[in-house]
Chain A
Amino acid sequence: MITTMYCSFCGKEEAGGDHEFCRQRLSMIDPPRYCAECARRMVVQVTPDGWTARCSRHGETASAR
């Protein structure tokens, strides 16, 4: 089985793409916006000390607090 992983900043496939800018943004100021497993746009709630991101297919992830 081939598992495709997606960039959670831009939603494009990780493989074969240059995601350096995406990684910088995710490490500095952006929560994930796309599900890494299916690239669906997630419902993201940012709070003062964290974030939650919910994919309709793969459920919720949250920042480490």
Chain B
Amino acid sequence: MTAAPEQIDVLDEAREQVLERGVGLTEAQVLKVLELPEERIPDLLALAHEVRERWCGPEVEVEGIVSLKTGGCPEDCHFCSQSGQFPSPVRSAWLDIPGLVRAARQTRDTGATEFCIVAAVRGPDKRLLSQVRDGIKAIRADGNDIQIACSLGMLTQEQVDELVAMGVHRYNHNLETARSHFPEVVTTHSWEERWDTLRMIRDAGMEVCCGGIIGMGETLAQRAEFAVQLAELEPDEVPLNFLIPNPGTPYENYPVVEGAEALRTVGAFRLALPRTILRFAGGRELTFGDLGAKQGMLGGINAIIVGNYLTNLGRPAQQDLDMLEELSMPIKALSQTL
């Protein structure tokens, strides 16, 4: 006699489907995981960790990021303190080339293999692309062979080709949230426009980095929808951010995602994306604190951003490196990525 569908434990299903066969959970299954009672969270995280070790290996990918062009963005992403449409205290700033070279050096010195250059724009103009090109040349001239990623908004095919020619190996462009929730978060461009850029990046041979932000008023069903939409994209990396309610943004009074809910999300996303680099990104300091960060690393995460973010501060890089050592998690070496 077989059990009725509602009696089948979703973690038992996931063990056979995701751990043994490497097939990510469906939207309905992800929703079940997100609805697990709090006492099941340790089981979920243990399974997600097994899945991560089985399909991704033990290494942790370490990355640093820097904002090349801060603030003054014409888009209205409601979570973002860099939008020029909200009364945020963040003012426009450009990082010069020597500053970019120093930031890349700081990142390399942590043992990171990835350095992501980010700009708050709808898409890059000639000036910005020229700055990126000159910046990459200067980083290489500094003897720094760290892998360079970019996040410069929506791209044309010509711009994609330019970035490939510059040696950019990965491009970040977050879908941010479920397709059904996106119009509540951004009105100046569409989810589909972002998707189009992501397809061009993939087709051009760059690695695709695409994630989003948890805690922007989405329902659990929309969170499950988002996980599965990301899986459909087959990204190389998914950065998982938790909302930082920043002053002046429409979301400034939103609550910080509660730790248990965030851990459920980490586990669920790993079970939806068994082979993807799943990165702890912004907001983890507020959402998790120190203990939660360790639980996340033991619950499916296999990459972190170390040091500061774009406009917010992170923990000192050494603190995260010490955490990885304590957890006996090896840092992915640059030789493995080249």
Chain A residues with a Cβ under 8 A of chain B: 9-11, 28-31, 33-34, 41-51
Contact = CB atoms under 8 A, between A and B. Distances in A.
Contacts of B286: 28-29
Given A10-B247, A28-B285, A29-B286, A46 B91 contact: no
Nearest to B244: A29
B91 A48 contact: no
B106 A48 contact: yes
A48 B244 contact: no
A36 B312 CA distance: 19
Interface string B10-40: 0000000000000000000000000000000
B95 interface: yes
29 contacts: A28-B285, A28-B286, A28-B313, A29-B244, A29-B312, A31-B311, A33-B89, A33-B247, A34-B89, A42-B91, A43-B93, A44-B90, A44-B311, A45-B67, A45-B99, A46-B308, A46-B309, A46-B311, A46-B313, A47-B102, A47-B106, A48-B65, A48-B66, A48-B103, A48-B110, A48-B307, A48-B317, A49-B106, A49-B317
Given A10-B247, A41-B91, A47 B285 contact: no
B308 A50 contact: yes
Contacts of B249: none
Nearest to B110: A48
Interface residues on B, range: 20 to 34
B310 A46 contact: yes
A28 B107 CA distance: 20
Contacts of A11: 89
Interface string B241-253: 0001001000000
- The winner among A44, A46, A50 for most chain B CB atoms within 10 A is A46
Contacts of B64: 48
A31 B313 contact: yes
A44 B89 CA distance: 10
Interface string B81-99: 0000000011111010001
A49 B308 contact: yes
A30 B95 CA distance: 19
